[in-house]
């Protein structure tokens, strides 16, 4: 079985941005973690800075853009350190089309990047589409050449993306990496996270969802994608979890050093604590760098909670 090449986190980030820049995308800076959007406390996705463009409220300066966006999500905070891939802070690599290309090209680009630039063997990739999205299914099968049984149809909970409850949204298609292809194709269960990791989400942004759940077509058909940098690093650095990648492990190693612990010999619970520190330190540093200060409410409370958890984890 072919093994993909080793790349550092920095190389993965640059290769993504360069690939899309070569295909007419403007490289834009990450937006602040403090969003302009009042519906969320923190920047939770790469698309957030483009939400007014998707909604037709602001004109796009470029028809195509690409970013490495710093994001924080705290809905899975209890899983941080306990699973291989839950974080509060992470970077989302994204390519965006504002009424320019749509499904066909987004899928072709994502496949080319994954297999040609990152060198992921096609036989290790499985994709999902929204249950009703026959068009995306057909593109993967007929234009990309994925065998039909490796294209999984998923329901709305998994494959229809909206940034929160209301706002721009659409069906999505995800690319998964198979850590255990030797288990064969007979029982592909994408929920099995010991075998599969979803690393690239392609959202076909074409509706606006209102508070009653009604979908109104957007003026234009857009593309919003997100690739988890830490997840791609786990794959390409061949480590058992996102924490042991070069993006996070130096923080863990330093914390272990300060605590006189040898990480490789540490108990599972000490490893969980070190991973929580590795994760929370990144969030806290990035939040403070974007001007957030500890407080009793709002995003300041999130910062305070993260600092408290990190101290508690470290045994203070």
Q: Which helix (H) or strand (E) holds 222?
A: strand 215-228
CB of 248 to ligand SER, least distance (A): 20
From the centroid of its chain, how far is CA 46? 9
Q: Which is nearer to ligand SER, 47 or 256 (CB)?
A: 47
| CB nearer to ligand SER: pick between 12 and 252 | 12
Distance CA 227, CA 232 (A): 8
First to last CA, the chain: 47
Is 164:39 a contact under the CB 8 Å cutoff? yes
Give the footprint of ligand SER on this chain (CB under 6 A).
45-47, 94, 161, 201, 203, 224-226
* For ligand SER, the closer CB: 283 or 313: 283
Residue whose C-beta lies closest to ligand SER: 226
The CB-of-312 to ligand SER minimum distance in angstroms stands at 29
Q: How far is the CB of 272 from ligand SER (least distance, A)?
A: 26
Of 69 and 273, nearer to ligand SER (C-beta) is 69
DSSP per-residue letters across 180-228: -GGG-STT--TT-TTTEEEEEEEEEEEEEE-TT--EEEEEEEEEEEEEE
d(CA 219, CA 207): 9
Name the minimum Å distance from CB 162 to ligand SER: 9
Q: How far apart are CA 10 and CA 243, in angstroms?
A: 15
Q: Which CB atom, from 4 or from 46, has the smaller least distance to ligand SER? A: 46
- As measured in angstroms, the least distance from the Cβ of 90 to ligand SER is 10
> Is 66 or 237 the residue whose CB approaches ligand SER more closely?
66
CB-CB contact of 275 with 283 (8 Å): no
Nearest C-alpha neighbor of 42 from the set 284, 309, 313, 311: 284
Contact 45, 69 (CB under 8 A): yes
Contact 110, 93 (CB under 8 A): no
User: In whole angstroms, how close is the CB of 182 to ligand SER at the nearest point?
Assistant: 29
């Amino acid at each position: 079985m072919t093994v993909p090449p080793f790349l550092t986190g920095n190389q993965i980030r640059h290769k993504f941005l360069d690939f899309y820049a070569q295909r007419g995308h403007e490289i834009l800076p990450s937006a602040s973690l403090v969003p302009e959007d009042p519906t969320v406390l923190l920047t939770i996705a790469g698309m957030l800075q483009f939400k007014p463009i998707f909604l037709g409220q602001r004109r796009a300066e470029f028809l195509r853009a690409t970013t490495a966006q710093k994001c924080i999500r705290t809905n899975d905070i209890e899983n941080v350190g306990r699973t291989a891939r839950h974080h509060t802070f992470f970077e989302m690599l994204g390519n965006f089309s504002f009424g320019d290309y749509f499904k066909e090209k987004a899928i072709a680009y994502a496949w080319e990047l994954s297999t040609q630039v990152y060198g992921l063997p096609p036989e290790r990739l499985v994709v999902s589409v929204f249950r009703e999205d026959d068009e995306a299914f057909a593109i993967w099968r007929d234009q990309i050449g994925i065998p039909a049984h490796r294209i999984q149809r998923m329901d709305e909970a998994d494959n229809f993306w909206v940034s929160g409850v209301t706002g721009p949204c659409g069906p999505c298609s995800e690319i998964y990496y198979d850590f255990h292809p030797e288990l064969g194709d007979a029982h592909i269960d994408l929920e099995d996270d010991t075998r599969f990791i979803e690393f690239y989400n392609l959202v076909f942004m074409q509706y606006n969802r209102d508070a009653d759940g009604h979908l109104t077509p957007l003026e234009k058909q857009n593309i919003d994608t997100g690739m988890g940098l830490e997840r791609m690093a786990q794959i390409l650095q061949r480590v058992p979890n996102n924490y042991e990648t070069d993006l996070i492990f130096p923080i863990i190693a330093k914390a272990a050093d300060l605590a006189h612990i040898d990480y490789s010999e540490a108990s599972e619970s000490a490893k969980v604590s070190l991973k929580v520190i590795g994760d929370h330190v990144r969030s806290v540093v990035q939040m403070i760098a974007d001007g957030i200060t500890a407080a009793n409410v709002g995003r300041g409370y999130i910062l305070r909670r993260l600092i408290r958890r990190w101290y508690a984890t470290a045994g203070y």
